C-alpha cells in the first residue's frame, strides 16, 4: 500500500481544541503577520482568510471582526459585508485557481460540524470534477494540489477584486 503524507494536518490534530478563538487572534495581530496567518483581506467589518487546515486547495473563510457565534448577532451592515466578500472571494478563486464549482456554507453548532463554534464564519470550498475520491473515506486523508503559501501568493496577485467598493 502506498502512503500519501499530509504532515501539516498533525498540527491541527494534536492541538487542544478549546484554545480560544484563532480568528480573533488573527484580527488582533499586526498586519505584518497577515501573510503568516494566511489573512488575505481586512475589511471594515469582516476578513477573508485561507483555511489553515483546508478541505481542498483554495478553501477560504469569511468572518466578521466581531466575535459572535450566530448570524443573528450580526448587524445588517456586518451581514452585507460578509455576503459581499463571499461573492467577491468566489470571483477571486475563479480567476486564480479556476474551480468548476463551489460549496459555500456556514456550520452552526457542533453537530453541524463547526470546529470553531464561538465565531461565526462562512466557508468557500472550491470544487473540481473528480476532486472527491477514496482518500477521505478510506484513509482519512485529503490530498491538496498546492501548498498553502503558494495558494496565498497566487490569490494575493489578484486581491484587488476584494477591494472593489471598499468604504
Per-residue pLDDT reduced to its tens digit, 137-161 = 434 444 455 678 888 998 988 888 8
Active site residues: 121
Using DSSP's 3-state secondary structure scheme, residue 138 falls into helix
Provide the residue ranges of all domains of the chain, joining segments of one domain with +: 21-163
CATH superfamily of 21-163: HIT-like (3.30.428.10)
Look over the chain and give the mean of its residue pLDDT values, rounded to a whole number: 84
Per-residue pLDDT reduced to its tens digit, 25-44 = 999 999 999 999 999 999 99
Tell me what percent of the residues of the chain surpass a pLDDT of 70.
77
Using DSSP's 3-state secondary structure scheme, residue 156 falls into helix
CA dihedral 114, 102, 38, 86 (to 10 degrees): -80
pTM of the model: 0.78
The pLDDT of residue 133 is above 50: no
The pLDDT of residue 9 is above 80: no
DSSP designation for 61: E
What is the predicted pLDDT for the residue at 162? 80
Per-residue pLDDT reduced to its tens digit, 79-114 = 999 999 999 999 999 999 999 999 999 998 888 888
Distance from the first to the final alpha carbon of the chain = 54
DSSP designation for 84: H
Amino acid at each position: 500500500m502506498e502512503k500519501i503524507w499530509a504532515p501539516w494536518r498533525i498540527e491541527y490534530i494534536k492541538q487542544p481544541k478549546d484554545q480560544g478563538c484563532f480568528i480573533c487572534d488573527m484580527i488582533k495581530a499586526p498586519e505584518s503577520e497577515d501573510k503568516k496567518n494566511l489573512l488575505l483581506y481586512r475589511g471594515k467589518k469582516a476578513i477573508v482568510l485561507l483555511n489553515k487546515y483546508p478541505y481542498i486547495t483554495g478553501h477560504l473563510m469569511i468572518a466578521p471582526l466581531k466575535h459572535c457565534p450566530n448570524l443573528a448577532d450580526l448587524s445588517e451592515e456586518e451581514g452585507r459585508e460578509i455576503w459581499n466578500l463571499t461573492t467577491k472571494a468566489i470571483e477571486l478563486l475563479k480567476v486564480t485557481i479556476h474551480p468548476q464549482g463551489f460549496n459555500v456554507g456556514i456550520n452552526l453548532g457542533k453537530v453541524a460540524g463547526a470546529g470553531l463554534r464561538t465565531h461565526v464564519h462562512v466557508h468557500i470550498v472550491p470544487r473540481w470534477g473528480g476532486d472527491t475520491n477514496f482518500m477521505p473515506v478510506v484513509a482519512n486523508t485529503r490530498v491538496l494540489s498546492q501548498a498553502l503559501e503558494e495558494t496565498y501568493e497566487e490569490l494575493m496577485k489578484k486581491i484587488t477584486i476584494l477591494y472593489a467598493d471598499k468604504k
